[in-house]
Amino acid sequence: MSTTTLGVIGTGMVGLGTARRAVDAGLNVVLSNSRGPETLAGPVAELGRRARAATPAEAASAGDLVIAAVPLAAHERLPRAELAGRTVIDPMNYAPHSDFEMPELDSNELTSSELVQRHLADARVVKALHNIGPRQLMELFRPAGAPDRTALPLSGDDPDAKKEVADLLDALGFDAVDLGALADSWRSEPNTPLYALPYVGQPPSGLTVREFVAWVQQASGVPVPAARVEELAAAAVRGPAGFRM
């Protein structure tokens, strides 16, 4: 079944960016955040008749597919019961800080998506949309077969769920490259060659980490074909987990 309604939990940069692309591609979206549907009047008005606001639990129930675009530190507050049996896109990246450190991630015992899957034990988690920024997502979509179509990696333990997410990415204007199981998703996490940079090109030298993040957020998109995604994933070497500001 193809996705006609995308449930969106978390409507910050990634959730709203994905919702914008989804609406432009003809999908319906159900938006939710931590503060309640009444705080989403602005985005709903901007997105028009294909968008409505709800609670996270309602967005989880309403979506054919759901994207959980919240900080990883909030993953245990995702509505586990309503997400049971559903395919959940996990775009979350580990960014350790003083209030949130996960020894199992620091030791590389688990990938961040395995952690999310452990909480959402009855859902089918697929890691995707985590290594590209919203601005590049809005610029790089192309019709199927276009010579400069961009590919995005995905990882997951359930082949049917991965197919659903690949079909959604196709509808959004992207090819998908299957990197394997959630345990393999480190190949596209922060600190690997596939994370963010291929889609934006070379940043100026000498930036602080905060300046680098700001530069990436506003950089124009650079198309990345599937063969390059495969090459970069194969070249990845597992190092320290997480993006440290």
Ligand X SMILES: NC(=O)c1ccc[n+]([C@@H]2O[C@H](COP(=O)([O-])OP(=O)(O)OC[C@H]3O[C@@H](n4cnc5c(N)ncnc54)[C@H](OP(=O)(O)O)[C@@H]3O)[C@@H](O)[C@H]2O)c1
Interface with ligand X by CB under 6 A: which residues? 9-15, 33-35, 56, 69-72, 74, 77, 91-93, 130, 133, 217
Smallest distance from the beta carbon of 145 to ligand X, in angstroms?
26
- Of 7 and 173, which CB lies nearer to ligand X in the complex structure? 7
- Of 93 and 117, which CB lies nearer to ligand X in the complex structure? 93
- Of 98 and 145, which CB lies nearer to ligand X in the complex structure? 98
Q: State whether residue 126 is helix, strand or coil.
A: strand
Smallest distance from the beta carbon of 69 to ligand X, in angstroms?
4
Which strand ranges, in their side-by-side order, compose the sheet holding 65-68?
51-53, 28-32, 5-9, 65-68, 87-90, 124-127, 151-156, 175-178
Smallest distance from the beta carbon of 1 to ligand X, in angstroms?
25
Cβ-closest residue to ligand X?
12
Smallest distance from the beta carbon of 130 to ligand X, in angstroms?
5
For the chain, the residue count is 245
- Reading the block at residue 169, the tokens are 């990415």
- Please write down the HEC assignment for all residues of 162-205: HHHHHHHHHHHCCEEEECCCHHHHHHHCCCCCCCCHHHCCCCCC
- Of 146 and 214, which CB lies nearer to ligand X in the complex structure? 214
